[in-house]
Structure 1
């Protein structure tokens, strides 16, 4: 009976471990894709400026400046992109607890914290 109970617990533990690994892997992939997209956006942009936790940039092929910034919508904190003059809204990351955007030389550093208090830092390089 003890052996049967031990095998049952072990089987449940392995199933839980598999679910946890899949969830963590999906989040990591999503985060890396977001970082790559932001990196590509900033590398293909002219003038990049950081003011009041907002990245203001001008894409090489466009006339309107764009902004990446913190944004609150219905009690949910997110990182989003928009144009300065025409508005619009493109969600980049959502369901966050904290966002900090800073510039250091030719680096833009975006630090996020999700609701599970897991911190992530993106270091995006651009040409000055």
Structure 2
């Protein structure tokens, strides 16, 4: 008695082809979404973070070079530099300007006038002081909240 073995088929059966096609489409869909997310994160986050860190360094540098911090309130930080020591009023101010959803944090000199925008197009900006720490909280138009922490020397307060 001999047993006859079936001959192996070459190629795919229809359901194997459909299954392979479905797996390929799912993989391409996941890859496309991943690339889209990566591109969005690289494009917006890096630029915004860089701008945020440059702004924080500029403000911190100004605070480090200040002779004294005159006042920190919810809408401004005023301070005096050594070259303006003889004046009766603070020479430099970081303050919040604007109304509604279009606020900006600006740097201005009290004596000579003019201003330099530091952070623009913000929905909300808040300045608060806790001992020797100044916290600037912003909410941009997309609703993203960010906090900037600045340190003040104890002898300048």
Relative to total residues, which structure has the larger strand share, 1 or 2?
1
Specify the structure having the higher radius of gyration (Cα). 2
- Runs of 5+ in structure 1 lacking a partner? none
Q: Within the alignment, does 1:101 sit opposite 2:127 as a pair?
A: yes
TM-score, length of structure 2 as denominator length: 0.71
CA contact (8 A) 2:101 2:121 kept: no
Larger proportion of helix:
2
28, 32, 35: which one aligns with 2:53: 32
1:16 corresponds in structure 2 to 36
Q: Which runs of 5+ in 2 are unaligned?
A: 1-20
Bigger shift: 89-98 or 71-80?
71-80
SS of equivalent residue, structure 1 residue 117: coil
- Structure 2: distance between partners of 1:88 and 1:42: 19
Q: Scaled by the length of structure 1, what TM-score is found?
A: 0.85
Q: After superposing the two structures, state which structure 1 stretch, 89-98 or 115-124, moved more.
A: 115-124
Deviation at 1:61, TM superposition (A): 4.0
**Greater shift in the superposed pair: 11-20 or 37-46:** 11-20
